[in-house]
């Protein structure tokens, strides 16, 4: 059952980008070294990834405001985000209080869909979500941007921060006037709508974990990575051998390389756990984890994890070809892109 506009939860908000001075100084030293070696292309690729990691260790997640630059692109890759888009046909014939739905899509272990309705002479606009592997208690904290697409770039956009804890619709009972929508926003009788979804945090969606990275591993670790309220006891040298980004972050000229505990913000703890399991040789990839693992494999530049994600999607996954191509494109799975493009 959809919630209406009177039950709106929170307001959209943005924060200014924040770059740590020490990070930029270290990056500049790296630039000088790399340019001396005439290997600027590798520098550019690594610096983009380091900017993304810097965002995760420096505090608040960053959101671009009005403009897009290299840093914004790098930061956006570390977020769980996607867009739903649907064209509803013959909208002028919609009956009062009868909801119409888009096709369902799976993103990050959750099924999502859009619903619209003619209600009280207004267009009602909702988004629904339901975990694929539902637990007794779960939550998905999101930032949503609803859009009715206009024919002359006169889009109507409304934002909403909401935490899902039940499989219900959330959105606006009175998104815009029905007559206004009919006059200005129909194209050949059809209405195009979009919802941009950014997932900040999830709980209760994880599957059983294979390997432990808790305090029982303290005696064989030399750094603790803190993700949310979860601590992962790991080896700097092992991670550095797997990832050029971890090598620079944990063994380079950052303050973090001298610390025994490093906090990583903006990352899902369950995704990070499965990602570490893959690095440590476990069979942690399935259709519920592959997208989260691919995100982190691309973010941290881990060829082994990228290859294992590709192999699973090519050989075992039951996801559609369209969904596989979207994952391949978003997270730079080159072999998979060649197969389905």
**Domain CATH for 165:** 2.60.210.10
Residue 53: predicted pLDDT: 54
- Kindly give the parts of the chain with pLDDT less than 70: 1-78, 134
- Residues 302, 196 share a domain: no
Residue 30 CA to residue 155 CA, distance in Å, equals: 43
| Tokens (6 digits) for 50 | 């380091």
The predicted pLDDT at position 71 comes to 30
Within this chain, do residues 32 and 112 fall inside the same structural domain, yes or no?
Answer: no
- Same domain flag for 229 and 290: yes
Q: What is the pLDDT of residue 58?
A: 47
Name the residue among 21, 18, 19, 42 with its Cα closest to residue 30.
42
- Judgement on whether residues 159 and 105 belong to the same structural domain of the protein: yes
The CATH number given to whatever domain includes residue 306 is 3.30.710.10
Note the pLDDT of residue 2.
Answer: 58
Tokens of 69: 């630059």
Does residue 12 sit within a domain? no
Q: Could you list the residue range(s) of the whole structural domain that residue 114 is in?
A: 80-203
β-partners of residue 225 are: 232, 262
Whose tokens are 């509803």? That residue is 88
- Do 104 and 64 fall into the same domain? no
On whether both 275 and 223 belong to a single domain, the answer is yes
Q: For residue 305, what pLDDT is reported?
A: 96
How far apart, in Å, are the Cα atoms of 123 and each of 136, 177, 322?
A: 33, 6, 30
Cβ contacts of 226-230, under 8 Å, gap ≥ 24: 226/261, 226/262, 226/263, 226/264, 227/263, 227/264, 227/267, 227/268, 227/269, 227/272, 228/201, 228/267, 228/268, 228/269, 229/269, 230/269, 230/272, 230/273
Same domain membership, residue 45 and residue 114: no
Number of domains observed in the structure of the chain:
3
Domain membership flag for residue 14: no
* Cα-Cα-Cα-Cα dihedral sign, residues 172, 177, 178, 180: negative
């Amino acid at each position: 059952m959809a919630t209406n506009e009177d039950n709106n939860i929170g307001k959209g908000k943005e924060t200014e980008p924040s770059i740590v001075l020490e990070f930029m100084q270290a990056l500049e030293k790296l630039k000088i070294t790399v340019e001396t070696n005439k290997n600027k292309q590798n520098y550019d690729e690594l610096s983009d990834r380091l900017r993304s990691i810097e965002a995760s260790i420096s505090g608040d997640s960053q959101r671009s405001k009005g403009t897009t630059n290299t840093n914004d692109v790098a930061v956006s890759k570390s977020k769980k985000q996607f867009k739903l888009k649907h064209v509803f046909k013959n909208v002028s014939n919609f009956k009062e209080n009868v909801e119409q739905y888009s096709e369902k899509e799976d993103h990050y272990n959750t099924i999502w869909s859009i619903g619209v309705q003619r209600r009280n002479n207004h267009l009602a606009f909702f988004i629904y979500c339901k975990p694929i592997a539902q637990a007794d208690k779960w939550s998905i904290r999101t930032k949503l941007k609803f859009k009715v697409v206009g024919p002359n770039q006169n889009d109507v956009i409304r934002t909403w921060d909401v935490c899902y804890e039940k499989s219900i619709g959330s959105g606006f009972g009175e998104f815009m006037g029905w007559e206004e929508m009919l006059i200005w926003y129909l194209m050949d009788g059809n209405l195009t709508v979009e919802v941009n979804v950014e997932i900040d945090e999830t709980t209760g969606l994880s599957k059983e974990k294979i390997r432990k990275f808790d305090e029982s591993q303290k005696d064989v670790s030399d750094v603790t990575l803190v993700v949310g309220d979860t601590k992962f006891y790991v080896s700097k040298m092992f991670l550095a051998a797997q990832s050029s980004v971890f090598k620079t972050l944990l063994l380079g000229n950052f303050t973090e390389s001298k610390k025994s505990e490093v906090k990583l913000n903006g990352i899902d703890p369950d995704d990070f756990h499965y990602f570490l399991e893959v690095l440590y040789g476990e069979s942690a990839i399935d259709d519920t984890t592959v997208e989260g693992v691919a995100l982190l494999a691309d973010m941290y530049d881990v060829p082994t994890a990228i290859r294992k994600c590709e192999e699973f999607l090519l050989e075992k996954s039951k996801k559609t070809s369209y969904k596989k191509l979207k994952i391949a494109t978003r997270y730079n799975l080159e072999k998979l892109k060649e197969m389905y493009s």
